[in-house]
Amino acid sequence: MPRTKGDHEARRQDVSAAVWQVMATRGFAGLTLRAVAAELGATTGLLTHYFPTKRALVAYALDLLEQRTLSRPRRSAGRGPATLRDALLDILPLTPEATDSNRVWVSSWDAALSDPALSTDYARKYAEGRERLRARVVAAQERGELAPGDPAQVAAAAQSFALGLVVQALFDPVTFTPQRQVELLDDYLAALAAGAG
């Protein structure tokens, strides 16, 4: 019986899910054709149809990471009064899904830092992230919710704070429970609101 387009698409989604699962548990260091095949319950041979080389698998994994990041639910994707707090909460590993996603991001830094093209691409992504935060800082300053100060500097600091908190929470989820992460963020924002930006 010939395979239908639906079969093909279903299999593609299975492959994506298996790649994601391997990355979330073993990181990029553990991302091999063999591990994905085992996760999928398939042969390594079948996987080579999708990924002829390790490099192709890594490129696919990075694309998958970007797609999942772009399509994840956000607190303030709409038009309303998007706040700095919502944008920073969206970064943190407060749910199992956000934890997996952050785990994969942090894991990808090793590969990204040693590949000049990828490193440039990551720098651009983080710059775009800071620009989005900056717009929210400006809006908050206009509403009088944040003290005056260079909004680009505030955005860069806030992004640093959130990224570092991600790393701490991944290594020590018992200490950095979702509740504690939110408390730390709220203290941080309170300090920004109070004064020296």
CB–CB of 166/136 below 8 Å? no
Q: Which is nearer to a second copy, 11 or 147 (CB)?
A: 147
Q: Is 128 in the site for a second copy (CB under 8 A)?
A: no
Q: Is 194 in the site for a second copy (CB under 8 A)?
A: yes
N-term to C-term CA, the chain: 67
Map residues 21-60 to x or -, x wherever contact with a second copy holds by CB under 8 A.
----xxxxxx------------------------------
Which position among 18, 33, 107, 151 is part of the footprint of a second copy (CB under 8 A)?
Answer: 107
Neighbours of 151 (CB within 10 A): 19
**Nearest approach, Cβ of 115 to a second copy (angstroms)?**
9
Which position among 55, 114, 142, 179 is part of the footprint of a second copy (CB under 8 A)?
Answer: 114
**Nearest approach, Cβ of 64 to a second copy (angstroms)?**
16
Q: How far is CA 63 from the centre of its chain?
A: 12
Contact set for a second copy, span 143-172 (CB under 8 A): 149, 153, 156-157, 159-168, 170-172
Q: Which is nearer to a second copy, 7 or 131 (CB)?
A: 131
Q: Is 110 in the site for a second copy (CB under 8 A)?
A: yes
Neighbours of 125 (CB within 10 A): 13
Q: Which is nearer to a second copy, 82 or 162 (CB)?
A: 162
